[in-house]
Amino acid sequence: MDLEARQANLISIVRIASLSLATGVVLAMILGFQMLPTRYQFTEGSVSPQTIKSPSRAVFTSGALTAAKRQDAAARVGAVLVYRPEIDREQLRKLRQSFAKISQVRDSPELSSDEERARALKQLTEVELSPKAQDLALTFNATEWRQAGAAAARLLTDALTERPTASQLPVIKSRLPDLIEGSLSSEQTVVSIELAAAFLAANRLSDQGETERARKTAMEATEPVVVTVERGETILRDGEIVEKTHLEKLAAVGLLNRELEWQSLVGVALLAVTSSVILGLYIYFVQPRSLANVRRLILFFIIIAGTVLAAKLTVPGRPLWAHLFPLAAAPMLMATLLDAQIAIVSAAVLSILVSYVAGYSPELMSFSAFGPLSSLEPISMYFLSGVVGLLWIWRAERLNRFFIAGAGVAAATFVVTVAFWLMSPDREISQLGWYAAVSVGSGVLASSLTIGISLLLSLIFGITTNFHLLELAQPNHPLLRRLMMEAPGTYHHSIITGNLAERGAQAVGADLLFVRVGAYYHDIGKVLRPWAFSENQMPGDNIHDRLEPTTSASIVTSHVADGLKLADKYHLPSKVKDFIAEHHGTRLATYFYRRARERGAEVEESAYRYAGPRPRSKEAAIVMLADSIEATARSAQNRSPEELDQLVDRIVTERLEEGQLAESDLTLRDLNLLRAAFKVTLKGIFHPRIEYPESPHEPRAVIQAKEGKAKV
């Protein structure tokens, strides 16, 4: 292996390894996210969108219930009351002060009348006496007034001795008449009681600090609330308002803010990475070169990761959705956009990965499959339906093939499901209706998604589909119409070459439509100089007879470069441009090279050689052989069956010995099959015609016209 080949091989290895590992990481993230924290995103007061049951038994201390119980205990602790003796002293002082001010009003020489003294009493702010008590206070003599004041002080002292609270004041005030001494007159009693009641105040008050300490002690003495959640117990119902107790139960059983399950996460990562690496190794060792470019590799891994992600978002915990999931769309897409071989391998890998997703229950955080049948069913269903779909869709040239493939997917899904249903001991006849419905749904989804997504991805990734090739094969395509009008001989040659190549492609299992389109456009560059090519020249008028061999070779070989320019101008896909560049490979323009040699001049071989490259696919190699065989047979004088057989053998052998087929995928067996197919087709094209006898009733000119029409 030369340096360039080793470098190319190293680049391929690095490219495939990088994409494989990246896809493995993505798949691990997709498959493992149910093991990460926060299984359910609930907040207090939100509405549950589904019914959730406990996956296991759990015993835990409820913070919400314990807090509520402790709050109740604290609320039952009353305020702690503390006796404040300074209040007694203050209230007695106020009483004496007020008594003294009233006495000043009574004895004031400036107030000459009772009316003035009454007005002065009303202006006192320390105490408010009823009008009757005011009048009585002014009518007492000095002795009676002193006796009433002393009685009020004793009465207030006695009342404060009971250490009343604010709530007890009305009761104690109502009992003041029972505490008064019997030696006072009724008038003195009224005044003493009002004076004492005016200054009676609560002297046993709440102590905030002591109260808080008492409540804290009560809360600490309260036992925590222990809650038991049984396995299968309903934690939340669909539509129920989420409370703190629900969140605690979800967290306790691992459905909320779960801890990382490192062992399971590593196991899932190993499964994902191993699957992607196996796919990468398959591509490297087995897959044709059509997947060797970066865009196709990226597309391949996007389909893999996208399918697993779609399954992860829809399937877990929904058994019928597992049957409805259109996994067959993934291999069908690959068969449409990439290759059928890689589609089959991908179907097998995706069946395993999606079956893992389908078997995992998000409610139970474990696998819902408890036996070999329930584990094997999704793998069989996904794989077989995917293979049926891709076989029908592979190289589809009509839209109805997609719907036929969808019907095949539905049938395969239903047959596999019924097979496992018959083997199940818990089968119920009512299940068959649901299975039939979801099988049909899966087939419809698979075909519809394949059509829509393939059109989108083919545009994004620049991939030529069969639908695009069908458009290019239409005779009304602008470039083909130009070829037909400006170079009719080349157009006819291309059509015959297409027929010949298609027969050969059918013999070796190559893409028939791809080969035919490649043959139609392989000589499109001759449109720019149609007069330079023999199939477009009139007999006896060959311009190359007047040109130097080097000039002629330059003109003839330039139809490859001209064709590539036209292909770019008319936006032909790269797959078709490969036929233009490769249909002569790196061969010599032999006729002109020999003419130059015959003249004895110094001949530079590179001036007579096509730029290439050599054919790099079965289809391009078949078109190369068909092109050479058709052109040689058309110019041959002897077209007997034996001569045509020898012509085919000679050209195939020459191209093989020249190394022009070395980079294609054709085997020796393929070459033998191509020889046989070319010989049969060539004999059909150039078979001898019968002579029409002259009719005694028709002129000879009419007979000759019929012969010409028949030959056309």
Both 458 and 519 in a single domain?
no
Both 528 and 450 in a single domain?
no
Please identify, among 445, 463, 481, the residue that sits at the C-terminal boundary of a domain: 463
Give the residues of the chain that fall short of pLDDT 70.
1-5, 8, 34-41, 107, 110-112, 114, 117, 121-128, 182, 254, 256-261, 288-292, 317, 360-374, 395-397, 540, 601, 687-712
Contact 511/505 with Cβ under 8 angstroms? yes
Does the residue 15 lie in any domain? Answer: no
Q: What is the dihedral of CA 155, 156, 158, 161, to 10 degrees?
A: 170
**CB atoms < 10 A from the CB of 486, how many?**
14
Please identify, among 169, 190, 206, the residue that sits at the C-terminal boundary of a domain: 206
Both 587 and 679 in a single domain?
yes
Say how far apart CA 521 and CA 525 lie, in whole Å.
9
Q: How many domains does the chain have?
A: 3
Q: Which SS3 state, helix, strand or coil, does residue 81 take? A: strand
Both 326 and 276 in a single domain?
yes
Contacts of 9 (CB under 8 A, 6+ apart): 1
Cα atoms in the 13 Å half-sphere on the side-chain side of 489:
15
pLDDT at 243: 87
Contacts of 638 (CB under 8 A, 6+ apart): none
Does the residue 127 lie in any domain? Answer: yes
Q: Which SS3 state, helix, strand or coil, does residue 390 take? A: helix
pLDDT at 233: 85
**CB atoms < 10 A from the CB of 419, how many?**
14
Does the residue 549 lie in any domain? Answer: yes
**CATH assignment of the domain containing 585:** 1.10.3210
Does the residue 27 lie in any domain? Answer: no
| Residue appearing with tokens 């509405």 | 47
**pTM value surpassing 0.85:** no
Say how far apart CA 388 and CA 445 lie, in whole Å.
15
Please identify, among 447, 463, 479, the residue that sits at the C-terminal boundary of a domain: 463
pLDDT at 37: 38
Both 433 and 571 in a single domain?
no
Which pLDDT tens digit goes with each residue over 463-492?
A: 888 888 888 999 999 999 999 999 999 999
Antiparallel, parallel or unpaired: β 226-229 and 204-206: unpaired
Does the residue 161 lie in any domain? Answer: yes
Q: What is the dihedral of CA 462, 465, 468, 469, to 10 degrees?
A: 120
Say how far apart CA 295 and CA 342 lie, in whole Å.
15
Both 300 and 154 in a single domain?
no
Say whether the peptide bond before residue 613 is cis (omega within 30 degrees of 0). Answer: yes
Both 177 and 300 in a single domain?
no
Contact 203/164 with Cβ under 8 angstroms? yes
Does the residue 540 lie in any domain? Answer: yes
**CATH assignment of the domain containing 375:** 1.10.1760
Both 497 and 448 in a single domain?
no
Q: Report H helices in 509-640.
A: 512-521, 549-569, 574-582, 590-598, 618-635
Does the residue 541 lie in any domain? Answer: yes
Both 391 and 427 in a single domain?
yes
Which residues is 83 bridged to in the sheet? 204
Both 280 and 395 in a single domain?
yes
Both 197 and 297 in a single domain?
no
**What would the DSSP string read from start to end of 195-261?**
HHHHT----EEE-HHHHHHHHHHHHHHSPPPEEEE-TT-EEE-TTPBP-HHHHHHHHHTTSSSPPP-
Contacts of 662 (CB under 8 A, 6+ apart): 614
pLDDT at 166: 79
Domain that holds residue 509: 491-685
Both 518 and 642 in a single domain?
yes
Does the residue 674 lie in any domain? Answer: yes
**What would the DSSP string read from start to end of 664-709?**
S---HHHHHHHHHHHHHHHHHHSPPPPPPPPPTTS-HHHHHHHHHH
pLDDT at 703: 41
Count the helices and strands in the chain (H runs, E runs). 29, 8
Burial of 439 (C-beta count, 10 Å sphere; 0-12/13-18/19+): buried
pLDDT at 197: 83
